[in-house]
Structure 1
Amino acid sequence: MHKAIARIFSRSILTLKFGQIDILSKRWACHDFTRDTIFALSSGHGKCGVAVIRTSGPASREALQLLTGWQRLPAPRKVTLTPVSCPKSGELLDKGLIVWFSGPRSFTGEDCCEYHVHGGPAVVRGVLQALGSIPTLRPAEPGEFTKRAFQNGKLDLTEVEGLGDLIHADTEFQRRQALRQMSGELGNLYQGWSRRLVKALAHIEAFIDFSEDDNVEDGVLIAVDEQVKRLRNELAQHLTDSRRGERLRDGVHVVLSGATNAGKSSLLNVISQKPAAIVSPIPGTTRDVVETMLNIGGYPIILSDTAGLRASDDPVEMEGIRRAKERQGDADILVVVIDASEVPLNKDALLNHWQSLLCSTSQAENLGDVIIVLNKVDLLTQSALISLQELCEGPKIPPVCFLSCHTGQGVSDFLDILQGSLENICGDPLEGSPSITQMRHRLHLTSCLDALGQYPVYREQDLVLAAEQLRVANRQLGSITGKVGAEEILDIIFRDFCIGK
């Protein structure tokens, strides 16, 4: 039996070599009191009312006593007003608020201190220089506080990424998604799958090594097969999310396309409320892709103006048209801008006209990703406008907006239609299960699903090879959260089967 347990441990410990994080090393790091103590300005740079300077590490206690002259530390997580002085010269630097965090009950899991001082550049510089004069302290590297929080088990990788996304969130829905991920929902989902995989793997390992001793109940392998099948279904459903979380995080690509002089650049300027693109009556003014980042109803978009589509012998314009078609094919939402004064008052001709402006047949079929904008309606008579509106009704027509960039008529209607398309693509990040937000997650989840798909194939051939597929799948999940362990398998074996009783 002891040899069998050794075999299980030797097989399981290999997972540490292939995972991104060595859990054992990570746990030892929590007790490494010889590591450097770091400090940095944690609030924004520039003049402000209050600046926050943070230290983390074993020498935080010494630094606090040197800068304040305290013999005894204040109670943890209590705000204390005190003078802050240079430890070398004794010169008063400022009078600020001090918050002491005793490890492991801190953001990084180490002893930490926050100095809330006045935000003038001279004050901040003086406090940073004072901390830098202490030999046991050094300036923190970018992201090092969060890195230590991860190493000390305060955050997993998904929570770290959520924190980064929250800091860089520009829109309301980006904030909601990042906050949900930082709170641990995404990591909990993946860790729940990992725990089920570890349990299934432990049962297979037990069956391989102990079934001859009649210590393993009948039906264990059938239960494992059912568990793997359920996990495959859940993973597959999680992956078929149309990349809504990634689009919300990075921005939805909205491309303005159409013929020359249809008003694409004018529409870009009207929406962005600034002269982002050159507008000219000369056809072919836009030769390259002009991009601007916007917030539409809480959703981030990357709005691109492209070269007008037409036949041309100009090599520069031809390159611009090539780039326009390439960007059009990559669009999440394609906005086809058409000069309303040149639209034929015939439904079939109208359909052929806007479909000729699409470079992809899939875009012509998936009308939810296309919006037609009929610009320059101020040039139409009322009867012509009514006739055109009647032509644009029907199942084969995507959403149509009548507007005038010159007068502003219909622009708010266009923004409402655009926001509706964004809601369909991104949804509400607070509803349903948490979304995949990183391409890194998607790649590991796809590899995990592939390994689970191989399990039934190897299950019929060799149980050891089938178990290896579960181990590969679990490593992929562990690579997302940064938690890849081996001792969990042994714990479950002894807990569930009472081997050696």
Structure 2
Amino acid sequence: MTNPGSIASSASAPGSAPRAVIRLSGDLADFQPLFEEEIQPSRGARFVTLKLGEIRLRAMVVVTVAPSSYTGEDSVDLFIPGGAAVVSRVVREIVELPGVRQAGAGEFTARAYTNGKLTIDQAKTVAATIAAENEAELAEVNRLMNQRLGEKAMSWASEVSECLALVEAGIDFADQEDVVAIAPKALSDRLGLVLGELGEHVSGDEPRESRTGVPRVVLAGEPSAGKSTLFNALVGKQRSVVDEAPGTTRDAIAEIVELPGGSRIELVDLAGLEEVADNQLSSAIFQRTAAEIEAADAVLHCDPNGVFEGELPGAQSALRVRTKADIPIAHDSRADVDVCALDGWHLDDLRSAIARAAGLAGPSAGGVIAARFDSAIRDAMVHIQSARRLAEAPEAQWELIAGELRLALDELGVISGRIDPDEVLGLIFQTFCIGK
């Protein structure tokens, strides 16, 4: 996963700043030539002098020796003046030292995983925290951390590993008198308990994939229903062409929109729903629009007068939006939300309603990591259920059972870290006296 040798990299964003941090990891002896003083582990920061050719630069340094550092290796954090030229010079001097090279992307965290300082899910959490673009995504990362899902996955993997060890012991060491293979009923019972725990940690609905990784919300309605004007107002710029002539929008237009709380959606302006039987193009547009509605995570049914006659094709339910609340009507509006896209009246209410309709209003808004973990748990359950059915068959097929349990461990390893084959063999050695 990582190349040998010591590594170094700037830990600060590019550009100039009052201070910059340069991070080193590997062997302290590799970094010593950079310093005039002997570098030693320290409880806090202390001043040192860096040798940059003929130049001497004062810097603060924090030294941590293995295995107490983030990476599990000897680590040095340098705090230097943050000028871009200074940072570039210091990094260049460091990576030119014998045995030291520029760190690759994510290599510090990769070394932390390799050295047992982080599990896979913890490493992914680090990446997700860095990549979070808004408060909602950051809250989702925090929720995953608080779930301690990695520890639970390790517990599940440990139980499955023990079952696998017993199954493989029965296969490989059946001729040993002190080896008693697990009975099919006992195996089924143990796997059933694991399935029960796994089932408590998957969402009620199957995870859905979208083209952008965020919920897809479509604006639907008849031609001239005010969809494009509303779309532009929610996007915050003139993205769709607006014209009094109906049917201006022919192709779906999509933009990412941020909602209250920092959650995001992909908002799509669809063509007006007006099927013309003798017009092949209009019919094709209608069918494509209907397909977009059916595939959407949420639908905004737009009507300028709040009447909403008829049902949208393919939509099980929709948020009804009266788009032209500035125009008086002689009847009561049947809309869930009345807005005026021209002056922004009630647009904030609509944004909140969209968040609820798209399933983003609660604190458990799904993110990419949550969906991946959820998928891994579901796939693990499939393999464990298969192993359980094989165990309950009239004649248990132990080789197939072992194969299914290994596949389940692969899925749990997505969350907790991989289960090495030697670990399973180690369980066999601990449980049975193979040496006799």
1:167 equivalenced with 2:130 (yes/no)? yes
- Contact 1:276 1:292 (C-alpha < 8 Å) held by counterparts: no
Aligned partner of 1:388: which letter?
S
Tell me the residue number matched to 1:300: 264
Tell me the residue number matched to 1:69: 36
CA 68–212 in structure 1, closer or farther in 2 if over 3 Å, else same: closer
CA 425–132 in structure 1, closer or farther in 2 if over 3 Å, else same: closer
CA shift, 1:162, in A, is 1.8
CA 308–96 in structure 1, closer or farther in 2 if over 3 Å, else same: farther
- Equivalent residue in structure 2 for 1:340, among 281, 302, 305: 305
1:309 equivalenced with 2:270 (yes/no)? no
In structure 2, distance between residues paired with 1:242 and 1:405: 34
- Contact 1:163 1:182 (C-alpha < 8 Å) held by counterparts: no
Unaligned runs of 5+ in 2: none
In structure 2, distance between residues paired with 1:325 and 1:222: 51
CA shift, 1:309, in A, is 3.0
Tell me the residue number matched to 1:5: none
1:109 equivalenced with 2:45 (yes/no)? no
In structure 1, distance between residues paired with 2:353 and 2:195: 37
CA 227–245 in structure 1, closer or farther in 2 if over 3 Å, else same: farther
CA 138–46 in structure 1, closer or farther in 2 if over 3 Å, else same: same
- Contact 2:121 2:414 (C-alpha < 8 Å) held by counterparts: no
- Contact 1:243 1:436 (C-alpha < 8 Å) held by counterparts: no
Aligned partner of 1:458: which letter?
L
Tell me the residue number matched to 1:4: none
1:82 equivalenced with 2:52 (yes/no)? no
Tell me the residue number matched to 2:390: 458
Aligned partner of 1:338: which letter?
D
Tell me the residue number matched to 1:388: 333
CA 61–175 in structure 1, closer or farther in 2 if over 3 Å, else same: farther
CA shift, 1:374, in A, is 0.9
1:100 equivalenced with 2:54 (yes/no)? no
Tell me the residue number matched to 2:104: 141
In structure 2, distance between residues paired with 1:327 and 1:235: 34
- Contact 2:339 2:345 (C-alpha < 8 Å) held by counterparts: yes
- Equivalent residue in structure 2 for 1:415, among 337, 351, 362: 351
CA shift, 1:131, in A, is 1.6
CA shift, 1:47, in A, is 2.6
CA 243–80 in structure 1, closer or farther in 2 if over 3 Å, else same: farther
Higher relative contact order, structure no. (Cα contacts within 8 Å, ≥ 6 residues apart): 1
In structure 2, distance between residues paired with 1:401 and 1:168: 34
In structure 2, distance between residues paired with 1:133 and 1:110: 20
Aligned partner of 1:340: which letter?
N
User: Equivalent residue of 2:326, what SS?
Assistant: helix
- Equivalent residue in structure 2 for 1:401, among 310, 320, 337: 337
Tell me the residue number matched to 2:313: 359
Q: Percent of counterpart pairs with the same letter?
A: 27
Q: Deviations over 1:45-99 (max 9, x none)?
A: 12333222212222x5432x33331124241x5212334340x22x034x43222
Tell me the residue number matched to 2:407: 472
- Contact 2:5 2:26 (C-alpha < 8 Å) held by counterparts: yes
In structure 2, distance between residues paired with 1:245 and 1:315: 32
Query: 1:415-494 alignment to 2 at 5 Å?
Result: 415-422=351-358, 424=359, 427-429=362-364, 437=369, 441=373, 444-459=376-391, 460=393, 461=395, 462-493=397-428
TM-score of the pair, normalised by structure 1:
0.74
- Contact 1:475 1:484 (C-alpha < 8 Å) held by counterparts: yes
In structure 2, distance between residues paired with 1:96 and 1:257: 61
- Equivalent residue in structure 1 for 2:326, among 363, 367, 378: 378
In structure 1, distance between residues paired with 2:293 and 2:256: 16
In structure 1, distance between residues paired with 2:227 and 2:272: 8
Aligned partner of 1:52: which letter?
V
Tell me the residue number matched to 1:18: none
More helix by share: 1
Query: 1:200-239 alignment to 2 at 5 Å?
Result: 200-207=163-170, 215=178, 221-236=184-199, 238-239=201-202
User: Equivalent residue of 2:161, what SS?
Assistant: helix
CA 80–319 in structure 1, closer or farther in 2 if over 3 Å, else same: farther
CA 238–426 in structure 1, closer or farther in 2 if over 3 Å, else same: farther
1:55 equivalenced with 2:24 (yes/no)? yes
In structure 1, distance between residues paired with 2:65 and 2:301: 59
- Contact 2:207 2:371 (C-alpha < 8 Å) held by counterparts: no
1:331 equivalenced with 2:287 (yes/no)? no
Q: Deviations over 1:115-145 (max 9, x none)?
A: 2223221221221222233232222222222
Query: 1:188-207 alignment to 2 at 5 Å?
Result: 188-207=151-170
Q: Deviations over 1:437-470 (max 9, x none)?
A: 3665455444433322222443232334323322
- Contact 1:53 1:114 (C-alpha < 8 Å) held by counterparts: yes
CA shift, 1:234, in A, is 3.7
User: Equivalent residue of 1:407, what SS?
Assistant: coil
CA shift, 1:318, in A, is 7.5
Q: Deviations over 1:233-269 (max 9, x none)?
A: 444554444356988x932222222233322232233
